[in-house]
Amino acid sequence: MKTIAEFMTADHKACDHKFADAEVAALDGNWSEAGIAFNAFNDNMLRHFVTEEDLLFPALISAGGPSGPVQMMRMEHDQIRELLSQMTAAVSAKNTQHYSGLSETILMVMQQHNHKEENILYPIMDQILAQQREALMGRLLTV
């Protein structure tokens, strides 16, 4: 069975791929394709955040996990959500230049954030939530 770290890291990668597809299409000026890829990226990201904020973070806190880092991750989610909403506006306006700048920015924020989760927070979850992992993984697949 996969660990939480493996499962969530694979989800990060899937989001990265959608991100790249959207960026390539947007910078090519192919807005119909960019719109589809961006929506997929946006949906994946928001679903990923819901998984963490509604399921994994509360489970970690109630099992006695650290609340400070969780708070920090929530704050970074808010930053990324804000960038996503600005990108949605850039897609609607078909503004390549603005999209390209936001895309560069969100990538850096997202990668830093993912790095911290993959290397620090998820391993903590696998450790602290070891006993409930099976049940949690079942619920992860349904979000």
Partner 1 sequence: MQIASLSTEQAPPISVPLRYFAAAPVFLIFSALLLALSGSNPFADLRSGAQIAATHHITLGVMAMVMLGAIQQMLPVVIGSPMPASRIVAWLTFLPLIAGVLLFSASFMLGKMFMLDWAWTLLGLSFLIFIAASLLSLWRATAQNATKTAIFLSIISLAGAVSLGLLLAHGYAAGLPLSYPLLATAHISLALGGWVLLLIIGVSYQVVPMFQLTPNYPKWMTSALAPALFIVLLLKLGLLPFETMPSWSGFFVECLFWLLACSFAVITLKLQSQRRRRVPDAPLSFFRLGMASLLLAAIFSLAALIWPQYSDNLRTLSALAYILGFALSLIQGMLYKIVPFLIWFHLFRGGIKAIKAGVPNMKEIIPEPLMWRHLWLQCATLLTALMAPWSTEVAYLTMLGLLLQGILLAYAIYIGIRVYRHTLKRLMQA
Helix (H, G, I), strand (E, B) or coil at 5: helix
102 is a site residue for partner 1 (CB under 8 A): yes
Which structure tokens are listed for 93?
């306006």
46 is a site residue for partner 1 (CB under 8 A): no
Cα 4 vs. chain centroid, distance in angstroms? 14
33 is a site residue for partner 1 (CB under 8 A): no
30 is a site residue for partner 1 (CB under 8 A): no
Contacts 24+ apart (CB under 8 A), 33-41: 34/91, 34/99, 35/91, 38/87, 38/88, 38/91, 41/15
69 is a site residue for partner 1 (CB under 8 A): yes
Q: Which stretch binds partner 1 (CB under 8 A): 36-44, 50-58, 117-125, 132-140?
A: 117-125
Which structure tokens are listed for 54?
């509604």
**Residues of this chain that bind partner 1 (CB under 8 A):** 16-17, 19-20, 23-24, 27, 66, 68-69, 72-73, 76, 79, 82, 97-98, 100-102, 104-105, 107-109, 111-112, 115-116, 119-121, 123-124, 127
